[in-house]
Amino acid sequence: MTSPFPDAAGRVTEAAWHADADLLASYATGTADPVVVWSVEAHLAGCAQCRSALSAHADAERLARNRSVLLVRVAVPGGGRMRRLLCRCGVPDHLLRLLAATPSLRRSWLLSVLGVVAVVTGEAAAVRYGWIRADRTGRLAGYPDPEVLAPFLLAAPLLVLAGVAAAFLPSFDPAFRLAVAAPFSGFTLLLVRSVSALAAALIPVVGAAFVVPGPGWLPAALLLPSLTVCAFALAAATVLEPRAAAVTAGALWALPALLLAAAHLPLAIVQPNAQFACAAVLCAAAAVLLARHDRFEWGGMR
Amino acid sequence: MTLNVSTAAVGVNGLSRRYGATQALDRVDLTLERGITGLLGPNGAGKTTLLSILATVNEPDTGRVSVFGLDPRQAAERVEIRRRLGYLPQELGYHRHFTVAGFLDYVAILKEITDRRRRAEEVARVLAAVGLEGRARTRIRALSGGMRQRLGIAQALLGEPELLILDEPTAGLDPEQRLRFRELLSGLPGDPVIVLSTHQADDLAAICPQVVVLLQGQVRFTGTPAELAATAAGRVWAADERDGRAHLSWRGGDNRWRHIGDHPPGGAELVAPTVEDGYLLLSQAAGAR
C-alpha cells in the first residue's frame, strides 16, 4: 500500500491507496499498532473495497470472543450519573465499581436515614404531645432549653458510627475471605468503604442538625465528633475484634453524652472543650491506624 | 534429597494452629509441587485451616510457610503471593444482589485487574472455562448449587494464578460436571501448583499425582494414589459371608462382602485395594491411637 495516513486535509480519497492483505490481517487479529489501527479505521470508513477485503480476514473465534466480552460488559452494571460525575472528578473507575458492589454501603445509608428520621420524628412527637415545651412562636423551645437536644446529640455520632461499622465489619461482607486473599490492599478497601459510608451517613445526620432546634453551629459541631468516633472504632479494630471495637467506640461517646445530659449540660458534648478532646483522640486514632494498618491485610481479624 | 524451588514451589514447616481447645493443625510439614495435589481427610481434620493458611487468609500460631520462596509474614511478599493466587473457600460468600458477571468483575478488581476492557475479557474467559457463559446476567441466588460451585471455581481462575487453592471444589457437582472439572484442571496453562481438598477418593485417583492424608491435624500420608492404595495391600478381602472381626465390611454391587481388616474371613480371597481402602485403614489406625 502507498501510505496508511490520510492526506493533509484529513480526507481519505477513494483509490488513493488500499490496505494490503498483511495490514488487514494484523488489524483483524488485533496485533496492529494503535496508530495504524486508527488510520486503517479511518480508511475503512470510506473504502468499500477494503471493507470487503477485511471480511476475509475475520477470525470466527476472535469474533466469538469479542461477542462474549461484549455480553459481559453489558451484564456488569454500569452505574448512573453519580458515577459518571465522580469519574469526571478523577475518582478511578475501578474504585467506583468496587463501591457500587459494596451493598453494605446501602445499608449504612438506610441505617442513618432511618435513625435520623426516628430521632427527629421522636422529638417532633414529643413537642406535639407536650412532653417538650414549645415557645410562643410555635417553634421548639430550642437553644434556650438545650435539653431538647440531648437525644439527638447522643444518637447523631452513633448513627454515623453504625453506618461506618456496617461498611467495615467483616460479618457484613459475605465475600470477606475472597477480599482478604486478593492482592488489593485490605486497608485501602477498608478506607474507601469507610469514607464513603461516613459521607453517606453524615448527610442525613448533618441535615437533621439543621432541622432540630439548636445553635446555628450545631451541624458543623457534629462533624468532628462523628469522624472521631469512627476513626476510634477503626483504630481499635487493629487491637480488638472489630465488633468489640465498634461497641467500645460507641460506648466512649454515649457515656460522656449521657453524663452531661444528666448534669443538664447536653450541649457541652459538642462545645469547644469537647471539640479539643475529639481532635486529640482523632490524632491518636490516626497514628494508631497508620502504625497498625497491617492488621487489616490479614483475614486474621480472628 | 535437595529441594528444588521448581519442584517444591510451596512448603510449610512445623505448622500449628489452635482454635480454643481444638488443635486444628499439629506440626504439619508439607511440600507441594507443580501439578495437582489432593488433600484427603475427614471433616474437622484441619484441611480448611491448612488451605486458608496457604491462601494467606489465616495466620499460623507457629511454623513457617513459603510460597514460591515468599514469606506471607512480610507485607510486601504477602501481596506478591496474593497476586499469584486463586482461592476457592469452602463457602463462597457473595452479595445477594450480585449477578454472575458483576461478581466476577468485583473479584477481578480485587485482583488488581483495573482496566475495564481487560477485566471484561478475563471474566468472559473464566465464564467460558466453567461453561457459564450464557449466565452472565443471572443473579447468583438464582443459580443451582452446582452452577454456584462452578462460579466459585471461575473466580479462582481469574488472572491465571500460579497457585490454585480449591477447598472442596467438586462438592455439589454432578458426575458430568466433575468430569468437566477434571478436564478443566488438566488443561490449565502455565503448569500451576494446584491443591484441592476433597471427600471423593475417585477424584484423587483420577487427577492428583500427589495425595496428602490429613488426620486430626497431622499429615499421615504423602505419596501417589497408587502408594496410598498399596498401604492396604493384603488387607482387603472378598467373601460370601460377613465376618465380624473386620474393621469395615459392606456388601458390594456383586453381592459379595468386601472386608477391610487383618483377619481374612472364611473362604475369602484377597482383592486389589483401592485408594479408599488405603484411606479407611489409615483413618482407622489414627482413630485407634
Instruction: For residue A291, list chain B residues with Cβ-Cβ distance below 8 A.
Output: none
| β-pair partners for B194 | B36, B164
Average pLDDT, chain B: 88
Calculate mean pLDDT across residues A69-73. Answer: 79
The tally of domains found in chain A comes to 2
B75 lies in the same domain as B169: yes
Of B222, B242, B266, which residue constitutes the final position of a domain?
Answer: B222
C-alpha cell at B125: 474467559
The pLDDT tens digits for A115-171 are 878 887 777 777 667 666 555 444 444 455 666 778 888 888 998 898 888 877 776
Q: Report pLDDT for A134.
A: 52
* Residues B74 and B18 placed together within one structural domain of the fold: yes
pLDDT tens-digit readout, B130-176: 999 889 999 998 998 889 999 999 999 999 999 999 999 998 888 89
Residue B167: beta bridge partners? B197
What is the least distance, in Å, from the CA of A174 to any CA of chain B? 4
Helices in chain B by DSSP H: which ranges?
47-54, 75-83, 100-110, 116-129, 145-157, 175-186, 201-207, 225-230, 275-288
Q: Does A13 score more than 70 pLDDT?
A: no
- Mutation to test the A interface, candidates B18, B49, B97, B106, most A Cβ within 10 Å: B106
Q: Given a cut of 90, is residue A285 above it in pLDDT?
A: yes
Is A189 touching B (CB cutoff 8 A)? yes
pLDDT band at residue A82 using 50, 70 and 90 as cut-offs:
confident
SS3 for A45? helix
A131/chain B closest Cα distance in angstroms = 43
Looking at CA atoms only, how far is residue A205 from chain B in angstroms?
Answer: 27
CA A4 to each of CA A19, A25, A34, A190, A191: distance values in angstroms, whole numbers, following the listed order: 7, 14, 12, 50, 49
B2 pLDDT higher than 60? no
CA dihedral B221, B222, B224, B228 (to 10 degrees): -10
Largest CA distance in chain B: 70
- Predicted confidence at residue A47, as pLDDT, reads 85
Let me know if A31 is exposed, middle or buried by CB neighbors in 10 A (0-12, 13-18, 19+): exposed
A187 within a domain of the structure (yes/no):
yes
| pLDDT value at A9 more than 60 | no
Q: Which of B222, B244, B259 is the last residue before a domain boundary?
A: B222
Residues A128, A48, single domain; the answer is no
Whether residue B87 and residue A300 make contact (CB cut-off 8 A), yes or no, is: no
Beta-carbon count within 10 A of B141 CB:
11
Tell me whether residue A149 is in a domain.
yes
**CA-based nearest residue in chain A for residue B60:** A300
Q: Is residue A148 part of a domain?
A: yes
Q: How far apart are CA A43 and CA A57, in angstroms?
A: 16
Which residue among B59, B102, B114 places its CB closest to the CB of A77?
B102
How many angstroms separate the CA atoms of A151 and A93, rounded?
Answer: 40
Q: Which residue in A73, A178, A181 is closest to B56 by CB distance?
A: A181
CB of A195 closer than 8 Å to CB of A215: no
Of A68, A97, A183, the CB nearest to B133: A68
Q: Which of B116, B136, B158 is the last residue of a domain?
A: B158
| Residues B169, B52 share a domain | yes
Range with the poorest average pLDDT among A49-53, A65-69, B51-55? A65-69
Same domain, A258 and A211: yes
Chain B hits for A297, CB-CB cut-off 8 Å, are: 75, 78-79
Q: Which domain holds residue B66?
A: 1-84+161-222
Confidence (pLDDT) at A15: 52
Q: What's the total number of domains in chain B?
A: 3
Whether residues A43 and A159 share a domain: the answer is no
Residues A70 and A208 in one domain: no
Does A4 fall in a domain? no
Residues 6+ away with beta carbon under 8 Å from B154: B104, B126, B127, B129, B130, B132
Where b means 16+ CB within 10 Å and e means fewer, A125-144 reads ebbeeeebebeeeeebbbee
Contact B136 A299 (CB under 8 A): no
Please provide the average confidence, as pLDDT, over all residues in chain A: 78
Angle, CA of B174, B179 and B184, to the nearest 5°: 120
Confidence of residue B7 (pLDDT cuts 50, 70, 90): very low
Grade residue A190 by pLDDT with cuts at 50, 70 and 90.
confident
CA A101 to chain B, closest CA, distance in angstroms equals 7
A94/B79 Cβ within 8 A: no
| Partner-chain residue, chosen from B80, B93, B111, that has the shortest CB–CB distance to A182 | B111
pLDDT, tens digit, for every residue of B58-113? 889 999 999 999 999 888 899 999 999 999 998 888 877 789 999 999 999 999 99
Considering only residues B247 and A257, tell me which one the structure prediction assigns the higher pLDDT.
Answer: A257
Residue in chain B nearest A172 by alpha carbon = B95
Residues A54 and A149 in one domain: no
Q: In what order do the strands lie in the sheet with B163-167?
A: B85-88, B163-167, B193-198, B35-40, B210-215, B218-223
pTM, rounded to two decimals: 0.78
Asked if residue A6 belongs to a domain, the reply is: no
The pLDDT of B32-55, averaged and rounded, is: 92
Is the confidence at residue A302, as pLDDT, over 50?
no
| A67, A93: one domain | no
Q: Given this model, what pLDDT does residue A10 score?
A: 45
By Cβ distance, the residue of A180, A183, A300 closest to B111 is: A183
Interface mutation vs chain A, best among B105, B138, B148, most A CBs within 10 Å: B105
Q: Do B80 and B165 lie in a common domain? A: yes
**Do residues A27 and A110 share a domain?**
no
Residues B119 and B261 in one domain: no
Residues in chain A with CB shorter than 8 Å from the CB of B96 are 103
CATH number, residue B16 = 3.40.50.300
The answer to whether A200 touches A109, Cβ cutoff 8 Å, is yes
End-to-end CA distance of chain B: 31
Higher pLDDT, B147 or A79: B147
* Structural domain boundaries, residue A164: 88-297
Does the CB of A175 have a partner CB in chain B at under 8 Å? Answer: yes
Whether A13 is in a domain gets the answer no
Residues A51, A178: one domain? no
Q: What phi, psi does A239 have (nearest 5°)?
A: -115, -45
Identify whether the C-beta of residue B17 lies closer than 8 Å to the C-beta of residue B53: yes
Nearest CA in chain A to B83: A183
More confident residue, B223 or A144: B223
Task: Clarify whether residues B171 and B265 are in a common domain.
Answer: no
pLDDT tens digits for range A207-250: 888 877 777 788 888 899 999 999 999 999 888 888 899 999 99
Short-list A105, A217, A204, CA closest to A155 = A204
Burial degree of B200 (CB within 10 A; 0-12, 13-18, 19+): middle
Say if the Cβ atoms of B75 and A73 lie within 8 Å. Answer: no
Report how far residue B112's alpha carbon sits from residue A179's, in angstroms, rounded to the nearest whole number. 11
Q: How far apart are CA B180 and CA B174, in angstroms?
A: 10
Identify from A65, A171, A184, A294 which residue to disrupt to test chain B contact, counting B C-beta atoms within 10 A and taking the largest count.
Answer: A184
With beta carbons under 8 A apart, name residues in chain B contacting A94: 109, 114, 116
Q: How far apart are CA A55 and CA A39, in angstroms?
A: 18
Smallest Cα distance from B49 to chain A, Å: 12
Residues A164 and A281 in one domain: yes
Average pLDDT for A43-54:
83
Q: Contacts of residue A63 in chain B, CB cutoff 8 Å? A: none
Q: Would you state the pLDDT for residue B233?
A: 87
Residue B13 corresponds to which cell in the numbers above?
Answer: 514447616
- How sure is the predictor about B268, in pLDDT bands with cuts at 50, 70 and 90? confident
What's the confidence (pLDDT) of residue A24?
84
